């Protein structure tokens, strides 16, 4: 154990003391936040896109086009279409497009309007303009038939569905948006950390083998001890960097952002809001009592105003994320993340010891990384977009090669305790098995030079004695 500890110290300290490690650990969260802000500033619009409208149909459709947050419609004043097009092309700044309703266009026609623009029109902008046209023409058709759009809107049902998780004590609201975001984020972290630092283990072994340092080191330490020291030492680097990122991210989101942005003041309670809240609370109480007694309410909600007041306010994504079982998710994430790293790092160490050149490692990396890639791709469709507790999701979270990502992705949705224990036990057994295989390859490969390695040759190394 003393020799393993010396290797762990060497691997850990040589990496932590590098300037690149300090820069990436301290500046990565800030660079990521800055890049996000910069991209948001670049993509942000100064205001809605201005669209020039020329209506030659005589139906005054242009006057019916309603401005939105994305679009603002401006009527053309030129006498002819040619003059309007010339004015559009020479305008500074130029409008986003020129919308033309040709002469002879009728409301029942499905084609006719044209959008003229310099260059290609973005798909999102075309969609917004199309929606505005369809809405205006629909209102005109309804008005022609004697119906009003407001009447149609009042007849349409808009019901908010609230999902309740009965597994939680007292029943807890199931916010699929928060669980989905957490599942995506955690699985991406596991995928990239395992892949990046597993490759670091492989490169570290390969560099020492190519420089012949291995020949000196194995004279005083066993190959298995050397391999385990490298894996655990780099694991310490992973946890250190991950911990620094968590602290810096918390500092940026919890301390810096409120200081820069400021907290919004709460709106004072006025007589109007109090008058609205009182019947809403009474209506909610009456509905709850009626459900428990299995009887209809005595005074049903009769108008839309009272119904909207009775609904619970929508919570933000950040508030929903804070309601997730953070401690259990964090502990499960650390266990499966660390277990997955150990499992794959052992295999990466075996690859690094078997090859002489890093370019030769690609043929051996593919079989190792395929389970990692497939588990992420399949888990997105099976767990996030499908059933997190389904049969396929269960087996993905039990197989040691796929469980680090699949189980972490299932954690925010809630996983039975027995499945967590079973999956964790299988992951530990999988790590022991892969470590044994990797150690058998490692002890032979680190002293093998100048020979092209094949899968058949690797299988022979497993049964060498000594």
In the predicted model, residues of the chain with pLDDT beneath 70 are 1, 33, 36-37, 39-47, 149, 157, 160-179, 253-325, 358-359, 466
Q: Which residues contact residue 183 at a Cβ distance below 8 angstroms, ignoring those fewer than 6 apart?
A: 383, 384, 408, 409, 410, 411, 412, 413
Q: Which residues pair with 101 in a beta bridge?
A: 55
Tokens of 24: 């990436």
Picking from 1, 7, 8, the residue whose alpha carbon sits closest to that of residue 237 is 8
**Can you say whether residue 154 is alpha, beta or left, with left for phi > 0 and alpha for psi between -120 and 50 degrees?**
alpha
Max Cα–Cα distance, the chain, nearest Å: 96
First to last CA, the chain: 21
The b-or-e profile of 365-387 (16+ CB within 10 A means b, else e) is: beebbebbeebbebbbebbbeee
- Helix %, strand %, coil % for the chain, to 5? 65, 5, 30
Q: Which residues pair with 75 in a beta bridge?
A: 53
**pLDDT for the residue 135:** 87
DSSP letters along 220-262, please?
Answer: TS-HHHHHHHHHHHHHHHHHHHHHHHHHHHHIIIIIIHHHHH-
Report the 3 state secondary structure along 13-62: HHHHCCHHHHHHHHHHHHHHHHHHHHHHHHHCCCCCEEEEEEECCCCCCH
**Can you say whether residue 146 is alpha, beta or left, with left for phi > 0 and alpha for psi between -120 and 50 degrees?**
left
DSSP reduced 3-state for 302: coil
Report the 3 state secondary structure along 187-224: HHHHHHHHHHHHHHHHHHHHHHHHCCHHHHHCCCCCHH
Backbone angles phi, psi at 71, to 5 degrees: -130, 150
Does residue 356 contact residue 212 with C-beta atoms inside 8 Å?
A: no
Angstrom distance (rounded) from CA 111 to CA 113: 6
**pLDDT for the residue 227:** 83
Superfamily of 49-148 according to CATH: Periplasmic binding protein-like II (3.40.190.10)
Does residue 423 contact residue 343 with C-beta atoms inside 8 Å?
A: no
Does residue 233 contact residue 8 with C-beta atoms inside 8 Å?
A: yes
Angstrom distance (rounded) from CA 95 to CA 63: 18
**pLDDT for the residue 423:** 92
Domain with CATH 3.40.190.10 in the chain: 49-148
Angstrom distance (rounded) from CA 107 to CA 407: 56
**pLDDT for the residue 306:** 40
Picking from 322, 190, 194, 176, the residue whose alpha carbon sits closest to that of residue 250 is 322
Check residue 112 and report its DSSP letter. -
Q: In the block, which residue shows the tokens 């428990």?
A: 292
The predicted model scores a pTM of 0.63
**pLDDT for the residue 466:** 59
């Amino acid at each position: 154990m003393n020799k393993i500890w010396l290797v762990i110290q060497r691997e850990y300290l040589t990496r932590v003391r590098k300037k690149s490690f300090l820069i990436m650990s301290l500046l990565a969260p800030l660079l990521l936040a800055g890049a996000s802000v910069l991209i948001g500033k670049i993509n942000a619009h100064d205001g809605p896109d201005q669209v020039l409208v020329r209506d030659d149909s005589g139906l005054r459709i242009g006057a019916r086009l309603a401005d939105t947050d994305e679009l603002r419609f401006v009527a053309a004043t030129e006498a002819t279409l040619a003059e309007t097009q010339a004015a559009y092309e020479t305008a500074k700044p130029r409008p986003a497009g020129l919308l033309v309703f040709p002469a002879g266009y009728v409301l029942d026609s499905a084609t006719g309007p044209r959008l003229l623009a310099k260059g290609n029109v973005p798909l999102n902008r075309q969609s917004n303009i199309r929606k505005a046209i369809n809405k205006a023409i629909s209102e005109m058709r309804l008005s022609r038939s004697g119906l009003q759009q407001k009447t149609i809107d009042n007849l349409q049902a808009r019901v908010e569905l609230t999902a309740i998780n009965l597994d939680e004590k007292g029943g807890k609201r199931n916010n699929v948006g928060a669980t989905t975001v957490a599942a995506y984020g955690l699985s991406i972290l596991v995928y990239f950390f395992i892949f990046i630092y597993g490759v670091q283990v492989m490169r570290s072994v390969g560099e020492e083998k190519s420089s012949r340092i291995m020949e000196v080191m194995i004279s005083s330490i066993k190959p298995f001890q050397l391999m385990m020291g490298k894996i655990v030492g780099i694991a310490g680097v992973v946890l250190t960097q991950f911990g620094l990122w968590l602290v810096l991210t918390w500092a940026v989101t919890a301390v810096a952002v409120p200081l820069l942005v400021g907290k919004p003041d709460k709106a004072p309670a006025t007589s109007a809001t109090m008058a609205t809240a009182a019947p809403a609370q009474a209506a909610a109480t009456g509905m709850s009592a009626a459900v428990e007694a299995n009887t209809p309410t005595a005074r049903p909600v009769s108008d839309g105003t009272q119904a909207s007041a009775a609904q619970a306010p929508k919570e933000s994504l950040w508030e929903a994320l804070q309601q997730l079982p953070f401690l259990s998710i964090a502990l499960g994430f650390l266990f499966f993340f660390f277990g997955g790293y150990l499992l794959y790092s052992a295999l990466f160490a075996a690859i690094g010891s078997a090859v002489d050149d890093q370019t030769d490692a690609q043929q051996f990396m593919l079989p190792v990384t395929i389970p990692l890639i497939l588990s992420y791709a399949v888990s997105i469709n099976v767990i996030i977009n499908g059933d997190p507790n389904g049969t396929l999701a269960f087996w993905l979270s039990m197989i040691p090669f796929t469980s680090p990502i699949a189980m972490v992705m299932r954690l925010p949705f809630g996983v039975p305790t027995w499945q967590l224990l079973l999956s964790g036990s299988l992951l530990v057994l999988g790590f022991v098995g892969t470590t044994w295989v990797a150690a058998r390859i490692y002890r032979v490969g680190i002293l093998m030079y100048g020979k092209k390695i094949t899968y058949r040759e690797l299988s022979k190394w497993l049964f060498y004695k000594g």
